[in-house]
Amino acid sequence: MAEKIIEFKNVTFSYGKQPAVDKATFSIEKGDFVGMIGPNGSGKTTVVKLMLGLLTPDSGSIRVFGKEISGFHDWQRVGYVPQKATNFDQNFPASVFEVASMGMASKAGLMKQLSKADHGAVEKALEVAGISGLRNSRIGDLSGGQQQRVFIARALVSEPDLLILDEPTVGVDQKAQHEFYLLLGELNRKRGMTLVLISHDVGVVAKNAGKIACVNAGVTMHDASSGIDSALLCAYGNDMGRVPHHHD
């Protein structure tokens, strides 16, 4: 049986009186590539924040790498690329290497000088993200796709076992999106990294993810290989229409 990386049992969380997540029970196993879909306001980002310990459930339990989340402290095993990561001051005077090295904070501490090993970890993350040649470039001078790779590298420097991405390609052109998903596929297949991807693009999720998590207050897991119709019905209900389009 595969190791459970994330496990929710009857998790409920509310903003005020309205439950954003209602009795969610599901698990994510080692090596999974999970695409998370659902309508706006369905609770996708809330589920991710619960996974990361940024929110505390009103009821139910969450386990991360087999430990109750309240007692889990090995957060360097978890990489996170938040929604709109590239939405920052384009005049911010930092190089690609400097931004990526910020991901060492969980290991080295915010004020500790990076060691030779830390520098090596940052260089490796830049290489994995395919941006070694941009290490000295100012991040504000890069394209949206290149910037997104920098934030992927920042998440990779601690060599996480789990990488969570919240709408990572918003505002990124189609060519850069294609290259970005090739990178994610390599991280999942060749490096065995467990991935959780929130995306509004159902077609991209169906093409790249192995499992689909339908979020609409509750969370239901579907096998992507069996098609997306049942997953769409689960997430969006039966009052929806689909317009076919293609991703080359």
Distances (CA, A) of 218 to 7, 38, 195, 239: 14, 10, 20, 18
Which carries the bigger pLDDT value, residue 206 or residue 124? 124
Residue 134 token pair: 């941009």
CATH number of 4-236: 3.40.50.300
By percentage, how much of the chain surpasses pLDDT 70? 84
Distances (CA, A) of 71 to 64, 66, 74, 94, 105: 9, 10, 9, 35, 20
For residues 85-112, give the mean pLDDT: 72
Band of pLDDT at residue 245, cut at 50, 70 and 90: very low
pLDDT tens-digit profile of 139-190? 888 888 888 888 888 988 888 999 999 887 776 677 777 888 888 888 899 8
Please, which residues have CB within 8 angstroms of residue 132's CB and are 6 or more apart in sequence? Answer: 123, 126
Which carries the bigger pLDDT value, residue 226 or residue 128? 128
Which pLDDT does position 96 carry in this prediction?
Answer: 92
Band of pLDDT at residue 231, cut at 50, 70 and 90: low
Residue 159 φ then ψ, to 5°? 55, 60
Residue 5 token pair: 């990386």
Residue 237 has pLDDT above 80, yes or no: no
pTM of the model as a whole: 0.83
For residues 19-24, give the mean pLDDT: 93
Residue 53 has pLDDT above 80, yes or no: yes
Where do the domains of the chain lie? 4-236
